[in-house]
Structure 1
Amino acid sequence: MRVQHTAHPLSSFPVYSCAFLSNDELVLGGGGGQSRSGVKNKLRLYKVASHTSIEQLNELELDKGEDLPMSMAAWPATKQLVCGINSAEEALRAGANQNCRRFAVKDNTLTFETSTSTLTVDPEDDDFQKVTVISPDGAFVVVAGKRDMTLLQFPSLEPVADTVHLEKGEIYDAAFSPTHLVLVTTVNLLVYTLPAPKPEGSSEKAAGKQRASALELVQTVDRPELPGKDAGSSFRAAKFHPQNPNVLYTVINTVPPRTRTKHSPRKAFICKWDTSKWKVTKTRQVSDKGLTCFDVSANGKFVAYGTGDYTLGILDTQALAPLLTILKAHELPPTIVRFNPTSDMLVSGSADNTIRLVSVPENLAAASWSSWIIVIVTLLVILFAILAQQMHQATY
């Protein structure tokens, strides 16, 4: 089955984050960062009519000296989004980094609403809010830098638990189930119990202060053993199956072993876990380069990923079987990949100033299996024809 997809150039706009506010409303975050490149840091709102048609509706330029939006999560019900944006260098030196910011879209216009500080960043360091994830019920948002994670109330952005600080490893992602929060670090998965929702009728600020306490760590999950030889591996991302909280998908990148002649390829794996036992049930190697971004569709059918060799791919969630591969989807490694709420469109973005929109048919998995069946049947027909010819020649 031929899947339709189109690349869209964005003038002077390297893309690093994105979120869908509805099936056809897309917010992109990007820019040149805090470097003096001359590329402005912005949020942009687009109308996405199809894989071939996008229309910019609004643009919000950030203040001079501030960083670009490096991570983003949206809550479509209220058209609000939370972004990770470091403050300007002067504020960082004063310890006043308003890195976690809430925006809203009203009348096709992006507006700033509020912000809070969860990361103290040294200007000489490269730390930033790389993780921003809203819980499935919209009650919480988790934000994290390299070693510090904070759970906040959404939409108030009031802290509901003490900040978790890592002594080893680095944070790369986080994922919510209805009852737990999984913090993805390079060395393990840390599983925390979610606190109870805020009391009905209480003020947001009072409720946040009342519940601020240490999160309960209930499980530490080590990296699984992977096929082949490698010099080590690290978790990079995780997503729960949207309809089954006992299923978790993780991305694991491996470090190639050193040899005297050459380096082995750096492999990337997607693993499917049974979280009732914390056991891997399926593993799929998807690339000889590291995975750079990852998402699971809201209908629970598809896993999408981008790799360091500029490839964009889709797997089915049951067997992790390949359904679609787009080579050279970008000129630089994809930085983001995201399904829209109805799972019929996929967007990928890159620092190469482009996004790619992919139309995802609902029967993509069935069509892909049909294609494989046709190939297998064709090969069997050819094989039987060869055998018949050989038998005929042997007879004479």
Structure 2
Amino acid sequence: MVKKLPSASIQLPYPLYCCDFADPDHLVVAGGGGPGRNGVGNKITLLEISDATQLTQVTELELSPNEDNVMSLVVVGPQKDKPTTTTVLAGVNSSPADINKGQNKHLRALTISQPGKSAKTGGVKISEVARDALFVHKDKDTYQRILRLSPPHEGLTSSPRLGAATTGLSKHPQIALFDVPSTNSPRWKTRGRLDPRVEAMDLDVIQTGPDTYQLAYCDDHDVFTVEVSKAEISEPKCVYTIEPEEGETVKASFKSLRYLTTGFLVTVVNNPKSRGVALHGLRLPKNEAENARLAIRAKLPSGVSKATSLAVRNLSPVATPSDKQGEAQFVIAVAGNDSSISLYTLEHKSAFDSDILSDLAPFQVLKSVHPSSITNLAISTFAPPEGSTKSSSELCVKLASVSVGCSTVVHNIPIKKHVDKSASSKTGKPPKPSRYVVALKSKGESPATVITLTSLVFLILLLAGQALLEAKGISEPVLGARKFLPASWIVPLRKVPRVEELAKEQKTIHNLLSDVNAHHSQQMVIKHEDLGAIGPDGLPALHVDIHNEETHGPATSWENLEKKDQDLWKQRLKKSGHWMEDMGETIFKGVLFGEIGGAIGNIVGEAL
């Protein structure tokens, strides 16, 4: 029986559109009824979630009823010199009157004062401290639909974080980039803007160096990346495009994306005609000449026809952007249009210079979490419990979800310490450092899937092996691989043994040419080395090769050789011990012979 995750819920008096964790014990939620006289307020609420059985409202900020509801929100974190003051950024459109005047200060900075211990004793306050506009176009219907910040790094507290916001319902789509300083100021500094051809369906940001970042965004069918540094913002590069499935004309479409590491993205894909949802892990390109590639995928339960939100959490994050991500597990949550949440784990493995994604597997499906559509998901951060008084049974990450039906639900996902002992027992090396993983067992792929994948891998290996054999000239041309392989891949079959090697290998020209004759479609050539390569018999050394006229020069089939040249070749091979008369001449049928005239012919003739 599947262990049920502990959960708590609360009902607020307004529809909710966004949420984020202030810390593991506090959640910020926001939304509202928008401008008008509908009686539903626009609010930002702080909830205490430390008790796994109940959620408690701590405080709230009621916004102007003349302005829009809160559609996007992200917690920046505690201010540097005020650890009990947390900065929050939110997307709130100005009033219709201001927008009609061309003024829409949609980005708001707020502070939550003393959200720590005082949350239980009162005195907590949410205050607006700044507002401004990021978008330059003045479309009346435009709003700030998505807001993201690059994740903070534990070992890089002095570095600013890059923020990105994208428009919704705009006739002139924009993505605005801005810096959120690490100082005590809650304000931001604009970096620049992008003008995508269509509005971004989703976006995310990750830090790649001390002051370099990468932005990824998707529209319905394409994924783009943008490099951001102090000096410039690159042009968007399309790195991946969804193609229709075989036999289909309609493409699937992207719903969401998130960075896993600087090398991988995870995306949610809605199949056409509401025929299901899939998770796709993409390996990002390492240089301009490459594109992203599908690294792993999984299907959501058949009851989910569309996805509405995505959240991802790394349980072993790196301390700085320059640190290499080692083995780690990610928790992935996908909300469906049936008010379910599908939970997955995904493994990141690193060996030598290679990184791979593996074991994308479900560990629980939470059904009917809300009475109406889920609008947003968030997963709390997880830090190893150094010096913590919590027992291993109390370790968890928290999954928050909100809905248009005014409900908030928080689930506790248990975490445990994990040490890969199997690697050390096989190699004799010390075990790898401990890390943390979900304490619930994930469900692996079905046997049919495993058998199919194994068969596919086996078939690919067979085809690759056959292509290699054909390139080497060892096999009949079943695939015709030599026509498509680079010339540099087609290497000589083997050298003809010289006299001193015959005693060791006990091979004659009969052995070699018998092989060649068995694969007579290969254009083989017997030729002399240059005059500097003299064998023990005092004659130029021989070798057998796959014929390449550019490399070997002209060659003639045995049947088309002049009689005198045939005699010279027979005597040459006979004297060196490579051929005897009782072998017959049929062994040379279909074999090309290099020139034996000129200087080489004289040497051979004189020696004979």
* Structure-1-length-normalised TM-score: 0.80
Once the two structures are superposed, what CA deviation does each residue of 1:234-281 show, in whole Å capped at 9, x if it has no partner?
22211111xx3212101122321xxxxxxxx43222110111351111
In the alignment, residue 195 of structure 2 is paired with which amino acid? H
Q: 1:189 aligns with which of 213, 223, 226?
A: 223
Contact 1:338/1:347 (8 A) holds in 2: yes
Q: Does 1:337 align with 2:377?
A: yes
SS at match of 2:440: helix
Q: What's 1:260 paired with? A: none
Aligned-pair Cα RMSD in Å: 2.4
1-structure distance, mates of 2:51, 2:249: 42
What are the residue-to-residue correspondences of 1:104-253 with 2, within 5 Å? Answer: 104-107=111-114, 108-119=124-135, 120-123=137-140, 125=141, 127-137=142-152, 138-146=160-168, 147-155=173-181, 156-161=187-192, 163-167=193-197, 169-179=198-208, 180-196=214-230, 215-217=233-235, 219-225=237-243, 229=248, 231-241=250-260, 244-253=261-270
Q: CA deviation at 1:28?
A: 0.4
Number of aligned residue pairs: 344
Q: 1:301 aligns with which of 330, 335, 338?
A: 330
Contact 2:240/2:293 (8 A) holds in 1: no
2-structure distance, mates of 1:366, 1:298: 15
1-structure distance, mates of 2:374, 2:401: 7
Say if 1:333 and 1:183 are closer, same or farther in 2 by CA, change over 3 A. same
In the alignment, residue 253 of structure 2 is paired with which amino acid? S
SS at match of 2:441: helix
2-structure distance, mates of 1:366, 1:115: 43
SS at match of 2:254: strand
1-structure distance, mates of 2:275, 2:24: 35
Q: CA deviation at 1:366?
A: 5.4
Q: What's 1:285 paired with? A: 299
Gaps of 5+ in 2: 80-85, 115-123, 153-159, 182-186, 209-213, 286-290, 316-328, 348-358, 383-395, 417-436, 448-608
1-structure distance, mates of 2:377, 2:236: 30
In the alignment, residue 279 of structure 1 is paired with which amino acid? R
Say if 1:36 and 1:171 are closer, same or farther in 2 by CA, change over 3 A. farther
In the alignment, residue 43 of structure 2 is paired with which amino acid? K
Q: Does 1:61 align with 2:62?
A: yes
Q: CA deviation at 1:329?
A: 0.9
Contact 2:265/2:284 (8 A) holds in 1: yes
SS at match of 1:330: coil
Runs of 4+ aligned residues of structure 1 deviating over 6 Å after TM superposition are none
Gaps of 5+ in 1: 197-210, 257-264, 377-396
Q: 2:283 aligns with which of 274, 277, 280?
A: 274
Contact 1:31/1:40 (8 A) holds in 2: yes
SS at match of 1:33: coil
Contact 1:115/1:157 (8 A) holds in 2: no
Compare the two structures and name the one with the higher helix fraction. 2
Q: Which moved more, 1:356-365 or 1:19-28?
A: 356-365
Higher relative contact order (CA 8 A, sep 6+): 1
1-structure distance, mates of 2:139, 2:38: 21
Q: What's 1:388 paired with? A: none
Say if 1:347 and 1:225 are closer, same or farther in 2 by CA, change over 3 A. same
Contact 1:224/1:280 (8 A) holds in 2: no
1-structure distance, mates of 2:179, 2:221: 27
Compare the two structures and name the one with the higher strand fraction. 1
Contact 1:4/1:51 (8 A) holds in 2: no
Q: What's 1:352 paired with? A: 405
Q: What's 2:440 paired with? A: 367
Percent same amino acid at aligned positions? 20
Say if 1:226 and 1:327 are closer, same or farther in 2 by CA, change over 3 A. farther
Contact 1:184/1:235 (8 A) holds in 2: yes
2-structure distance, mates of 1:84, 1:254: 30
Rg bigger for which structure? 2
Q: CA deviation at 1:339?
A: 0.6
Say if 1:321 and 1:106 are closer, same or farther in 2 by CA, change over 3 A. same
